[in-house]
Amino acid sequence: MTPFEGLLFFYIMGLMLLPGVILGLLGRPLKIYGLIFTAVMLTIVFYENGQLLLLCGFYVWQIVLCLGFSRVKNKTKTIFRAAVVLSLLPLLAVKLSAVFPELRLLQLLGISYMTFRAVQVLIDIYDGRTEKPRLLELSYFLLFFPSAAAGPIDRYRRFLGDINRTPGKEEYCELLRRGFWRLMTGAFSGIAVSGIIWAYWLEPLPGGGFMAGLSYMYGYTLYLYFNFAGYSSMAIGTAYILGVRLPENFNKPFLSADMKDFWARWHISLSTWLRDYVYTRFVMGSLKAKRFKNKRTASYIGYIITFAAMGAWHGLSPNYLIYGAYHALLMCVNEALDLHYKSMRKFKQGAVSRVLMAVVTFHFVSFGLLIFSGRLV
């Protein structure tokens, strides 16, 4: 059983959400029931996929690391880096399955998202934003069912603020209305629209030829957007019903004026995670240590590291790694143009020119997703 797919899944999830809805309408706390809902739904989904034992092992591994690290008195940089590497090991093993088929038995649904949430907690503990996480709250955050399989990637402190606050009846009614609407529109986008694009546009296309490749590029871009945005919307809608306001993941990405604008609108929770925990930390650390004579060098190398991590996060297959390198190059060029050509920044601000830039950006994005799809590699 795959989350947010099939009538049986929605039937089971609907039944499991009912007690939560009743509690919310009565103005009662939702945290404990949310934990129960998450545990039951994860058990059903991962048991059906034969991955429940792997999920339990992954959970214990991350919990021991996070709680253990939080109790270390002298959190040196070496200990911190070792904890992060250990947290990433299960994800690395899964990604290596693309290279070593014998590791495919270790594949785990949603491991990329759950790992980044665990790493985020470790970083927040090291930086002093989080002191000693509580077991139940940390478990709820790492395994929160609506976003377990496909995000969005939430932030620990923001998540705690939601689960430890009981919305009033009127506020919960609004959350319930918005949650139901996001579920319905998300299902229409992620299942119906993307399914039609796949069945009637992409699947009938021949395997070779320039025009077929061009058509596939446009079709796959739209397919991936409607599919991914739809599943994100369903996750957000389900979380609303449980009293949790998951962050948005898409904001009209095809209206982007350049690549920097695009990554502020597409897969927002991942791009901001990488910006805050990879790019910014590397750039600020480089400036503080004076690693480069030119300050802009740190930014360019930061983009290369960040988007290499983004590509590897999707997988270690050549198409994903090339996709990351492609976007690193685009971001470096984007920053160089903005830095050295003031006319470029002014050009983007005009009404007509912004439309033109949106068309150009869309084609850069679409070609990148063609690489991502594996059709070119």
**pLDDT digit string, tens, across residues 236-265:** 999 999 999 999 999 999 999 999 999 999
CA 373: distance to chain centroid?
18
Beta-carbon contacts of 310 under 8 Å, excluding residues fewer than 6 positions away, are 270, 271, 274, 324, 327
| Domain-embedded: residue 224 | yes
pLDDT of residue 106: 80
Mean pLDDT for the chain? 94
Which of residues 106, 131, 163 is at a domain's end? 163
Do both 223 and 332 map to the same domain?
Answer: no
| Domain-embedded: residue 199 | yes
Do both 129 and 200 map to the same domain?
Answer: no
Cβ neighbours of 298 (radius 10 Å): 20
pLDDT of residue 100: 80
pLDDT of residue 240: 98
Decide if 151 contacts 248 (C-beta within 8 A). Answer: no
Residues of the chain with pLDDT > 70, as a percent, come to 100
Burial of 33 (0-12, 13-18, 19+ CB in 10 A): buried
Do both 113 and 216 map to the same domain?
Answer: no
Do both 304 and 207 map to the same domain?
Answer: no
CA distances from 152 to 149, 298, 311, 319, 371 (A): 9, 28, 17, 23, 23
Phi/psi-derived region of residue 45, left when phi > 0, alpha when psi is between -120 and 50, beta in every other case = alpha
Do both 191 and 74 map to the same domain?
Answer: no
Which of residues 134, 163, 192 is at a domain's end? 163
Which of residues 108, 141, 163 is at a domain's end? 163
For this structure, is 363 an active site residue?
no
- DSSP structure string for 165-201: S---HHHHHHHHHHHHHHHHHHHIIIIIIHHHHIIII
- Taking only the tens place, the pLDDT of each residue in 95-143 is 988 778 777 778 899 999 999 999 999 999 999 998 889 999 999 999 9
Distance separating alpha carbons of residues 22 and 25, to the nearest angstrom: 5
- DSSP structure string for 43-60: HHHHHHTT-HHHHHHHHH
Do both 105 and 157 map to the same domain?
Answer: yes
Angle between helices 77-95 and 111-127 (to 10 degrees): 180
304: pLDDT strictly greater than 90: yes
pLDDT of residue 251: 96
pLDDT of residue 149: 87
pLDDT band at residue 64 using 50, 70 and 90 as cut-offs: very high
| Domain-embedded: residue 191 | yes
| Domain-embedded: residue 22 | no
User: If you average pLDDT over residues 24-42, what whole number do you get?
Assistant: 96
Do both 347 and 311 map to the same domain?
Answer: yes
pLDDT of residue 62: 97
CA distances from 79 to 34, 88, 294 (A): 33, 14, 31
Active-site option among 267, 314, 327, 340:
314
Give residue for tokens 């002298």: 74
| Domain-embedded: residue 4 | no
CA distances from 133 to 64, 187, 239, 314 (A): 11, 35, 21, 28
- Spell 153-174 as b/e; 16+ CB within 10 A means b: bbbbeebbebbeeebeeeebee
| Domain-embedded: residue 20 | no
- Helix extents (H) in 2-76: 7-25, 31-48, 52-70
pLDDT of residue 192: 96
Do both 150 and 176 map to the same domain?
Answer: no
Give residue for tokens 């959970």: 59
pLDDT of residue 243: 97
pLDDT of residue 338: 87
Do both 175 and 159 map to the same domain?
Answer: no
| Domain-embedded: residue 24 | no
- Taking only the tens place, the pLDDT of each residue in 333-360 is 999 998 888 777 777 777 888 899 999 9
Return the minimum-mean-pLDDT range out of 99-103, 202-206, 325-329, 331-335: 99-103
Give the domain range for residue 187: 169-241
Burial of 324 (0-12, 13-18, 19+ CB in 10 A): buried
pLDDT of residue 78: 95
Do both 175 and 260 map to the same domain?
Answer: no
| Domain-embedded: residue 9 | no
Burial of 34 (0-12, 13-18, 19+ CB in 10 A): buried
pLDDT of residue 343: 77
In the chain, how many domains are there? 3
pLDDT of residue 245: 96
Collapsing DSSP to helix, strand or coil, 264 comes out as coil
Do both 120 and 236 map to the same domain?
Answer: no
CA 189: distance to chain centroid?
18
Q: Choose among 326, 323, 344: nearest CA to 257.
A: 344
Do both 47 and 155 map to the same domain?
Answer: yes
Phi/psi-derived region of residue 247, left when phi > 0, alpha when psi is between -120 and 50, beta in every other case = beta
pLDDT of residue 341: 81
377: pLDDT strictly greater than 80: no
pLDDT of residue 40: 97
- Taking only the tens place, the pLDDT of each residue in 147-199 is 998 889 999 999 999 999 999 999 999 999 999 999 999 999 999 999 999 99
pLDDT of residue 289: 87
Tell me phi and psi for residue 98, to 5 degrees.
-70, -25
